[in-house]
Structure 1
Amino acid sequence: MVPLRIGYVREHFSSPLLQYAEADNGSTFVLVECPSGTGQLISRLTNDEIDVAIALTDPLISGIAKGSQAYKLVGSYVTTPLNWAVITGKDSAYQQISDLKGTPIGISRPGSGSQTMASVMALQQGWPTDELEFKVNNDIHGLVNSVNDGSTGAFMWEWFTTKPWLDRGEVRFIGSVPTPWPSWLIAAHPSRATPDALRTFLDTLSTYVRAFDSPEKRAKDDVEYIKKTWGYPEEDVKAWLKTVGYPQDCASIPTKVITDTISVLEKAGVFKSPEGGFDVSHFVNTDIVKLA
């Protein structure tokens, strides 16, 4: 059996996946790191570079809504919101989110979470979402450079992932925008990933996720694993663990996650629904996932 190619972002959220990968040792799947985030994951699914992506809810759903045939949703990975920091340059004039109206916003790639969440931020601020200007900066390093050279006013990235730049005084946080939905889903190419291989992957991933999510592991083992793997300060790890939750069954998605995300993204101007609205089953591989 050819191992599944699993695309992922190497962040603290991926800890249960990494623990599974260490035990599997390449026998049923291999990890493909996508440091630029969900925009890169979707691109690699489209270009036959990966078979499965563990990625952010909003770009995955907006990609299917906009017509992508490269993947369908097959499962859940994180059940809690993602807290997006709104980040500006260390010497910029911007002091709060409202100051950013009319400024270019840095994003990693078109269709990324950094772009969809900027539209959600604009919706919350009452700005015209169709007037947003985006500048592509590829990854966290390009985004940090852009706010400090003034080519963008701000960018958005997960709070704890970006906190080391804040701690070193390289950027400033001027606010945050939590996602109005559970933050991570799992998507797979409709034909490259076989149903049997996907079911095995999702079932076994569920056991690692449940173990990581247990009170016993959260008290000590999770803290030590994240400190060792990412070098985060213990107080940051404990603060993050208080905010994050994982599913009991990775092969299940609540229907409400899809419908609520579609509703907010449409209001934010990310896409338009067809006449009569979307059929939720259009977004999922019904051979694999259970809609709850």
Structure 2
Amino acid sequence: MKNFLIGGVPEHFNLPWYIALRNKEFQKEGINLRWKDYPGGTGAMAHALRNREIDMAVILTEGIVRDIINGNDSKIVQVFVKSPLLWGIHVAANSDFEAVLDLKGTNAAISRYGSGSHLMAYVNAENHDWNLKTDLKFEVIQDLEGALEGLPKGKGDYFMWEKFMTKPHVDNGTFRLIGESPTPWPSFVIAVHNEVLLENEESVQAILEIINKTTKTFKQIPQIDEMIAERYGQKLEDVREWLSLTSWSNTQLTSEELENIQEKLVELDLIENNIQETSILHQF
């Protein structure tokens, strides 16, 4: 039995992993795969991959591309969720801000530097023609729980997080949703540390085959919408909308997609220059 530790956010995108683990699909192939939740998101997972605290991660595309360019000794092996991630732009319910344009020059609450919430604040700022050097400020709040506690107290002025996972906190009156910002690329990829790829490439391929088989039929699971709603505290109509917008993948990022991501990161001054595709993507 080969041991692997994979990290991911505790969100509905990753429910197929839970189902495959529950059904012992990996064990049937001689693989002891364990899952570790990272509520702190992409920045926390990238750090864990760098330090070999985990072998693999289901991680935001733009975040891991940037971290690999900045020295993370890992590669992307596959797109996991090919549909864009719909980021909600949230403020505290008691905030005076009414529209995204009101947020110019205020503090974006982010989980950590290099995280999705950090990078997407840049994308949102650029979408509104803000000055990226003077109109963007940041307040580190660790994760969604930190934002729920901090924003009502004035720690950060707005918070970008996946719209549907955050919606229960809009419904209960903690946050207000004042805008949305979809990623201009596939949302989640699977990244693996290079040492793991070197030593266990066949096992990594087996893991991908199992999860791809699970995601292929995920939407056809009886009462899957009810299961998601109960597990993640969502309204059934929200889950059904999310399912209609979400699609998984079993293929690698294309050269065009990777080039688009790198060009955007350069444009936003988040990396200095593009690097070779072979340094970021692993082809089996």
Using structure 2 for the length normalisation, give the TM-score: 0.93
State yes or no: 1:51 paired with 2:55.
yes
Among 101, 108, 111, the residue aligned to 2:111: 108
Cα displacement string for residues 26-52 of structure 1 (whole angstroms, at most 9, x for unaligned residues): 732010111111111111111221000
**Would you identify which runs of 4 or more consecutive aligned residues in structure 1 move more than 6 Å?**
none
Preserved CA contact (<8 Å) 2:78 2:253:
yes
Paired residues, number: 277
1:283 aligns with 2:280: yes
Structure 1: gaps spanning 5 or more residues: none
Alignment deviations for residues 189-232 of structure 1 (CA, whole Å, 9 cap, x no partner): 0013510110010011110010114xx44xx4321321232232
Tell me the distance in 1 between the aligned counterparts of 2:96 and 2:119: 24
Which residue matches 1:13? 13
Q: How far apart, CA to CA, are the structure 2 residues paired with 1:201 and 1:246? A: 15
Identify the residue that residue 268 of structure 2 maps to in structure 1.
268
Over the residues paired in the alignment, what is the CA RMSD in angstroms? 1.5
* Percent identity of paired positions between Structure 1 and Structure 2: 31
Amino acid at match of 2:231: T
Return the match for 1:143 from 110, 135, 147: 147
Structure 1 counterpart of 2:95? 92
Partner of 1:246, secondary structure, is coil
Measured against aligned partners, the alpha-carbon deviations of 1:108-142 in whole angstroms (never above 9, x if no partner) come to 01110000000101111111213322111111111
For residues 57-116 of structure 1, the C-alpha deviation after alignment (integer angstroms, 9 at most, x for no partner) is 1101111122322x1111110010000000111111111111111111110011100000
Give the match for residue 163 of structure 2: 159
The answer to whether 1:259 aligns with 2:259 is: yes
Q: Identify the residue that residue 205 of structure 1 maps to in structure 2.
A: 211
Question: What is the CA–CA distance in structure 2 between the aligned matches of 1:192 and 1:23, rounded to whole Å?
Answer: 24
CA displacement, residues 238-258 of structure 1 (integer Å, 9 cap, x when unaligned): 0111110111x25x2222221
Q: Deviations over 1:165-204 (max 9, x none)?
A: 1010011111010001110001000013510110010011
Q: Which stretch of structure 1 is more off in the superposition, 110-119 or 230-239?
A: 230-239
Determine whether 1:122 maps to 2:136. Answer: no
Opposite residue 117 of structure 1, the aligned amino acid is M
- Report the equivalent of 1:4: 4
- The residue matched to 2:156 in structure 1 has which SS? coil
